[in-house]
Amino acid sequence: MTQSAPHARGTVEALAGIGVSGLVEPMLVTRDLPIDRDEAADAAALVFTSANGVEALLRQGQISDNVRLYAVGPQTAACLAQHGYRDAVVGEGDADSLLRLIFSTWRPTDGKIVHVSGKHVKCDIALELRSWGYKASRATAYVADQVEDVRETTLDAFRSGSLLGVVFVSRRAANAFCAIAEVQEVLGHKPCRFAFCLSEYIAGGINERLFSDILWSVRPTREALVHRIETCLADLQLNAPQHIQPATTENV
């Protein structure tokens, strides 16, 4: 799992439910950026496209009770709920579905929308909304820095063939992983069997030389991704606990 440890926990637990164990090797490390509080102060609605955005905002202040909340998908909504905000309007996991949801539930005259995001985004939600006549802005709450190496224990697991696949839930994480020299050296000689991606867009960031097969889920949600992995294992007629034996999960 290439997610950061806190957010990878749910994926680890979901995979354990289908008999697959794993280790966490984060490819991105997040750090908060100061939010322009004046920019977000007059928001009538807040849009979150990641759990990182939720947590970064809440570390810098609370969310007003009278603000409408939008979450890109179930995981982001769950993060809001964990902090007591349970009334978010939830999308299907990608920017397109989120925009359609906003268009169908929020009028331009209903007030300003603020997209709480990281520094790097695939889709500028605020820009898209403004093009349709909405008053919208973007509040950058954090940045995710790419790591430049992986642990030797992870490389040893690749060398031994004990890792069946790598899970990617962001394209930047995929790019970071494939750019690491040690990964290129190890998997260049002995490719990993699978790259499991949250979406086809993320799969486009994979170096095909490092994996035998690149697969993605039909929907950009954790449940769909886990189902894709489960289906893959069933197709291979593998007994996952016997074949997947990572070195450790102590960092989860």
| 48-66 pLDDT per residue, tens | 999 999 999 999 888 888 9
Q: Which of 31-45, 121-135, 140-154, 157-171 has the lowest mean pLDDT?
A: 31-45
pTM across the whole model: 0.81
Cα 21–Cα 11–Cα 52 angle in degrees, nearest 5: 145
Query: What are the pLDDT digits (tens) for 168-185?
Result: 999 999 999 999 999 999
Assess contact for 69 and 46: CB atoms under 8 A.
yes
Taking residue 201's Cβ as centre, other Cβ atoms within 10 Å add up to 15
pLDDT 10s digits, 113-144:
999 999 999 889 999 999 999 999 999 999 99
Decide if 44 contacts 113 (C-beta within 8 A). Answer: yes
Spatial separation of the C-alpha atoms in residues 43 and 75, rounded to whole Å: 23
